[in-house]
Structure 1
Amino acid sequence: MIEKYSIRTDLALEQKERFEADNVEIPGVVLEENNDEGRNIKVTTVRIETENGAKIMGKPVGTYITLEAPELTVPDEGYHREVSAEILQFLRQLLDIGKEDFSVLVAGLGNRQVTPDALGPYVADNLNITRHIVKEYGKYAMGKDRVCLLSAIVPGVMGQTGMETVEIIRGVVEETRPDALIAIDALAARNSKRLNRTVQITDTGISPGSGVGNQRNAITEETVGVPVIAIGVPTVVDAATIVNDAMENLIAQMEQSEALKGVGVVLQGYNGAEKYELVKELIAPHLNGMFVTPKDVDETVKRISYTISEALNQLCCS
């Protein structure tokens, strides 16, 4: 029954939570949690190990690491450094950077002119690009014993270029031959509390725009020819999510009211997916395609982009 319902999210964690809320176990999907209360950072790893699990989850087989950092929207440099260190740790786990001249191409996906979608280009702006310097003068020109070759591209979106993003990246990969591609993109979330407070890292690649219904060709190892790590931060939720969250709060209030208690009991009979579908029907058609982002998204996205870029800079200069 539940497979007929779909929620709009790019986060594997939220897909897993959707099934857990309805007491549905997914064979071939493993979840691990590590909550560091001292640093206020929660790490959840979802491993999709079988094709059957991938089909149910609607995501490829692979590892999905989610960092939930509630204070990521706060301008606290110490906290952001800790998040950068966490991102760096997981990148080192997912990437085999043992070779001396390891080369990384960073693709800053998204539209620079649309702030909630500008995370990728902003990350690229903050990178310490080294490929041209190391190729010209050698690694000692960087003052380090070990420096990987870091290059970056901001391919834009199809509306600007007339080309699929994967076509542009594939051409660059064929010419520059990096050992790995790291794609940075803004995501869509199911839960508004995760907006600009969550970082997802995965070794399965990415489908740009999938969270907002724009199905572009996937950027994966199969399509570009090198391993692909995707880093994303949810910056938008759809209108149905906002209304659904409001309805959940309404139900909670109804339970405390004698006059409205009966209505609350009826709505409680719906599972999470059914409530979401009901909300989509109620707000359609005028609000069904609307996406919402926080009012301070411009400042927040710039701050988070710097946090991610610091992890990438340390990856290539360590």
Structure 2
Amino acid sequence: MEHKIRTDLALEVRESFPEDDVEIKGVILTEEIDEKNNIRITTVEIKDDKGAKAMQKPIGTYITIEAPELNNASDDYHKPVSELIAKYLRKLTGDLSHDEVLVVGLGNREVTPDALGPQVVDNLFVTRHLIREYGDEFKVRNNLGSVSAISPGVMAQTGMETMEIIKGIIKETKPRLIIVIDALASRSIHRLNTTVQISDTGISPGSGVGNNRKALNEESLGVKVIAIGVPTVVDAATIVADTLTKYMESTGFGEEDIFQFISEVNGSQMYNMFVTPKNIDEAVKEISYTLSEALNSCFSQPIIT
């Protein structure tokens, strides 16, 4: 039985295949475990068009860092998570870490589950203006990258597509790398605010909640784009479907009966509802610091003398 799932996580798309242990052509799945910190790192590589068609995602690399204790952990726990994010971010950015970098914080800062991107930008150590003021010698002496940042808001606030705004900035500042931060949708309540996905395929703002805007990727912008996202909402229909499925299976209902019943219960109106945890304010605040520290260590880590 299949339910249509709404998720931005490539890992969850891979998990949705019934043949979990069977290789999908064009898709490579690898996994690492940090037992000390209880963190799982899963890499999904979509290698060709067959894999992209099966996964319904662009060809590229999707790295998912799952830290189940992140939501309730002390501040000390955020440091190893931040270091892992930085490690895999460097892996995807290659030798561009000390070039012109533009960080884009997507989302609406007035809506807490969607405010992750703007809050990350608020915590960044931006350096482009310093380097323009004091020159390349200052940049080299202090081991700085040239980092600029923008929170472009959403179309309802600006009347402009995010891509239009970013293209204008690219034309003027000519970055060589763009890091896009956004809140995502998950199909699992257990991954909310505890999971980070890093990918080299860019992002389509709002895709997880069915509000697709023009994609921000290398093809549309002409610059390498790395996307970092954290799921902050889950589809209400998915919660209902999963809960009812487990209950009905345990009471002896057949697969067809379960599917028909859930379809009737959910209805079309259920697919426009999303759920977020009650501690979302604090969670977004803490995770935004974790992401900003990872970015700072990658692109603008000054040498303190």
Q: Which residue matches 2:158? A: 161
- 1:192–1:241 CA contact under 8 A, matched in 2: no
1:282 and 1:208 mapped to 2: Cα distance? 29
CA deviation after TM superposition for structure 1 residue 285, in Å:
3.6
Q: Structure 1 residues 281 and 228, CA, compared in 2 at 3 Å: closer, same or farther?
A: farther
Q: Which runs of 5+ in 2 are unaligned?
A: none
Q: Which residue matches 1:217? A: 214
Q: Which residue matches 2:188? A: 191
- Over the aligned positions, Cα root-mean-square deviation in angstroms equals 2.2
Q: Structure 1 residues 74 and 48, CA, compared in 2 at 3 Å: closer, same or farther?
A: same
Query: Residue 8 of structure 2: which of 3, 7, 10 is its match?
Result: 10
1:42 and 1:22 mapped to 2: Cα distance? 17
Query: Residue 38 of structure 1: which of 36, 39, 57 is its match?
Result: 36
After superposition, residues 17-28 of structure 1 pair within 5 angstroms as: 17-21=15-19, 25-28=23-26
1:228 and 1:98 mapped to 2: Cα distance? 11
1:134 and 1:280 mapped to 2: Cα distance? 58
1:160 and 1:144 mapped to 2: Cα distance? 41
CA deviation after TM superposition for structure 1 residue 84, in Å:
0.6
SS at match of 1:97: helix
Q: Is 1:137 matched up with 2:134?
A: yes
1:289 and 1:153 mapped to 2: Cα distance? 29
Q: Is 1:313 matched up with 2:296?
A: yes
- 1:75–1:303 CA contact under 8 A, matched in 2: no
Q: Which residue matches 1:290? A: 273
Q: Which residue matches 2:178? A: 181
Q: Is 1:148 matched up with 2:131?
A: no
Cα deviations across residues 140-177 of structure 1 (Å, max 9, x unaligned)? 65795421100001111111111111111111011101
Query: Residue 82 of structure 1: which of 80, 85, 88 is its match?
Result: 80
- 1:106–1:153 CA contact under 8 A, matched in 2: yes
- 2:125–2:300 CA contact under 8 A, matched in 1: no
CA deviation after TM superposition for structure 1 residue 139, in Å:
5.2
1:204 and 1:144 mapped to 2: Cα distance? 33
SS at match of 2:220: helix
CA deviation after TM superposition for structure 1 residue 22, in Å:
6.7
- 1:127–1:313 CA contact under 8 A, matched in 2: yes
* TM-score between both structures, scaled by the size of structure 1: 0.88
- Is the deviation greater in 66-75 or in 278-287? 278-287
CA deviation after TM superposition for structure 1 residue 280, in Å:
4.5
- 1:221–1:227 CA contact under 8 A, matched in 2: yes
Query: Residue 206 of structure 1: which of 203, 206, 224 is its match?
Result: 203
2:73 and 2:136 mapped to 1: Cα distance? 34
1:172 and 1:130 mapped to 2: Cα distance? 16
1:176 and 1:125 mapped to 2: Cα distance? 20
CA deviation after TM superposition for structure 1 residue 97, in Å:
2.9
Q: Which residue matches 1:257? A: none
% same residue: 55
Q: Which residue matches 2:49? A: 51
Q: Which residue matches 1:60? A: 58
1:225 and 1:285 mapped to 2: Cα distance? 38
- 1:8–1:211 CA contact under 8 A, matched in 2: yes
2:22 and 2:261 mapped to 1: Cα distance? 21
After superposition, residues 202-281 of structure 1 pair within 5 angstroms as: 202-251=199-248, 254=250, 260=251, 262-263=252-253, 266-267=254-255, 275=259, 279-281=262-264
1:233 and 1:105 mapped to 2: Cα distance? 19
- 2:123–2:289 CA contact under 8 A, matched in 1: yes
* TM-score between both structures, scaled by the size of structure 2: 0.92
Cα deviations across residues 44-71 of structure 1 (Å, max 9, x unaligned)? 0000001111011110000000000011
1:38 partner amino acid: K
Q: How many residues align?
A: 301
Q: Which residue matches 1:92? A: 90
CA deviation after TM superposition for structure 1 residue 251, in Å:
3.9
Q: Which residue matches 2:27? A: 29
